[in-house]
A and B are shown apart, each in its own frame.
Chain A
């Protein structure tokens, strides 16, 4: 999985190699199997909304489009009514907020690119648009009561980041120990690792 700019740092480490060890229990295996299995069908978003979201996920995570299936996971959450359980006053429920936000992003794309929607633009144009939404350099009326900046940060990016870092490939990338039951950790001090953890790797401090 090293395509389209995706840099894997710890390519010697695979959390899933611990699948049959005491680090995983049956429940966790079934949960992760489901997550790594066929993505759920699109049931909440329209095809257009979904295309916008998929394209946005790819830019927000610097991953290939559609891989991993973050947009499907978000769609599934909204279909099932799974959310954080709170929203700001005078804002609509989460599903409506998503639709408004994605439509606002798409509308801004069409406005800037002579009618071309977000999903059809090239990567750098998409990045520029996302940045614009992030800083609020867009028509705020297209982003509902929440506004572009809050939509970007508190809804879109927050969900995308959460879903990506819920996946074993992301855990491998950051060297996270992963599931840990019944076996936890023995060596928990500074510069210590258990043999079932990721190898040591120096801090990059922001450099690739």
Chain B
């Protein structure tokens, strides 16, 4: 283990400046005893975005992250194994009929959270999904509409310099993306070829990595290690965008600071701050508001672990819903071998997308939708897929892997129903800090399975007409959502439409836990848009003295 993992970097009035080797940016620091306006737990897509937006509005903010403050230019090797250090690999239990793979599959650890290792896919929700029950007859309605979030989608896209096509084929008419699209790599071209053969539209995926210089970010060099950390800083992760700008705007970020418990006052009606473990001991930061942004497993875990006599079920959990309605995106993959040299590791992993089945409901024997993208796994990850999905080993595995440069495939981001039995709870086991670890339970519904069958069939057909042979399938999931759902009714939700918990007026949630349904696109853009909106809402409430 290197020294990096042991000692925090954001100390002594400065934070790492990710844009230059060894450089620092000045950082305002707060005393633990100063009650800051907002203590945010988690510096990812939700937390770092909110920290930045609130700091710009002159709130005092301390944002905690359990993991390190990465320096991409220096810390990120071109090596899958070395880069496992980006993931949350503290022990968790994952079970149910269809256990979700955690760790590197969906859980980051460090300033920037999972956006440090995400695929940069920046898509908006189909507007109807915000009113899925009313308009589409399934799922749930959000307490906010697409129109309310649209300006924040635009702001997030601008902040991330999303590189997208001049005309995006799906969704309501929209302005131009901030940057022009990237060129299509070989697997993306195969998706386009297949789509044209089947008569459905396709698009270069809107990606949060720059196609031309932006500020201190050089353009993408198409090295393909996106899921293992971008060492060029072309990727517009929350580390490089929001955290950097949050510090510049006066926020404090505390790395290697694990928040273990949220404290409440004696009456049990307000939170008073957070207990966090940093540099070898427990500390307590006073705060006027606490925002939990640890993503859909750590957020409910923290709330449940903060149970008190007055809140025996955990904080914000009078409804009993904290941790429930866990949802994810199913990602069953179809893979094939092509005559052409594909060499899919070149460039971001998902350079082309087809959202046809998000906007077309004809002929479906299920409700919901899916988007699917071209793929580009690196060898270590790919070998694991080949070995576990096909059961190949020995010469058979070696032979199959030798077609690496000729493989291509599609994986969807497939909608999964929100059901109470899919949940995050506490196990009895504790971690090294004495905190009870999460136990995740998940299983698909019949509808989920019918949807996945449709996806596999359609994607297989598309692969074949594009020239793919020797098709086979695999199973996977991506993303974690829904465990602290937003709603209009305290009995059926954990937080209101502002992300404020019903039970404790100064406890907020700002991450993927808020999601009321899974949707069928990658959630990061929506999470960031919600965070930007939440900052505006907080500002408005503060002005009304309603905080």
Contact = CB atoms under 8 A, between A and B. Distances in A.
Interface of A: 5, 7, 9, 23-25, 27-28, 31-32, 35, 59-62, 80, 82-90, 93, 127, 130, 134, 153-154, 157-158, 160-166, 170-171, 173-186, 188-193, 197-198, 200-208
Interface residues of B, number: 78
B402 A174 contact: yes
B231 A181 contact: yes
Given A27-B74, A28-B78, A31-B79, A161 B89 contact: no
Classify the interface of chain A: helix, strand, loop or mixed.
Answer: loop
30 contacts: A25-B231, A28-B77, A28-B82, A83-B91, A84-B103, A85-B91, A87-B92, A87-B94, A88-B95, A88-B99, A90-B95, A153-B391, A154-B388, A161-B397, A164-B383, A165-B383, A166-B79, A173-B398, A175-B402, A175-B404, A176-B345, A179-B77, A180-B78, A180-B224, A180-B225, A188-B186, A190-B190, A200-B341, A205-B403, A206-B399
Question: 10 closest pairs, A vs B, by CB?
Answer: A184-B221, A85-B89, A179-B78, A184-B223, A85-B103, A180-B223, A89-B95, A203-B406, A165-B383, A86-B102
A6 to B, nearest CB: 8
Contacts of B185: 188-189
B103 A32 contact: no
Nearest to B470: A205
Nearest to B88: A85
A61 B78 contact: no
Interface in B100-155: 101-104, 107
A48 B92 CA distance: 30
Interface of B: 1, 74-82, 84, 87-95, 99, 101-104, 107, 183-186, 189-190, 220-225, 231-232, 337-343, 345-347, 378-380, 382-384, 386-388, 391, 393-406, 439-440, 469-470
A181 B223 contact: yes
A138 to B, nearest CB: 16
Contacts of A193: 341, 343
A61 B397 contact: yes
Given A165-B383, A176-B379, A185-B223, A82 B91 contact: no
A161 B104 contact: no
Given A157-B393, A189-B185, A198-B405, A181 B78 contact: yes
Contacts of B220: 184
B81 A35 contact: yes
B346 A86 contact: no
B68 to A, nearest CB: 15
A192 B82 contact: no
A197 B231 contact: no
A58 B338 CA distance: 30
A32 B81 CA distance: 10
Contacts of B186: 188-192
B19 to A, nearest CB: 15
Given A166-B79, A179-B78, A190 B402 contact: no
A86 B92 contact: yes
Given A93-B91, A185-B347, A9 B387 contact: no
B224 A185 contact: yes
Nearest to B85: A82
Contacts of A181: 76, 78, 221, 223, 225, 231-232
B78 A205 contact: no
The winner among B223, B231, B398 for most chain A CB atoms within 10 A is B398
Contacts of B399: 204, 206-208
B99 to A, nearest CB: 6
Contacts of A9: 402
Given A85-B87, A181-B232, A191 B340 contact: yes
Nearest to A35: B81
